[in-house]
Amino acid sequence: MKAYLVDGTYYSDAESESEGPDGLNDSQGYISAVAPRAVIVIDCDDPAIGEVGCVVTRMAEVSSCMIEAPPGQRVRKGDELGYFQYGGSSMCLIFWPA
């Protein structure tokens, strides 16, 4: 497993996406490219699956992405990888093509 943090900008939204009534919801595509993120890559035991990437994005000025599983640790289904502190967040899972 590999895990690292990516620095970014805080509480930014794209005016081109318009303002959402609940905050930054309409700018999620933009925010996921510029906000601080945690990236976790898991090497699966099944070679047919390969690697699975998990990108978690902090989406509010007080939110934090906390990685709990140290790089190199073997993780299993249900193990905690990390968590968000305080504000809003979003995540994306990435798989190799089947």
What pTM was computed for the model? 0.76
Check whether 81 has a pLDDT greater than 80: yes
Query: What average pLDDT does this structure show over 45-73?
Result: 85
Share of the chain above pLDDT 90, in %: 33
- Write down the pLDDT at residue 97: 86
Check whether 64 has a pLDDT greater than 70: yes
Strands (E), the chain: 2-6, 37-43, 51-58, 64-67, 82-85, 89-95
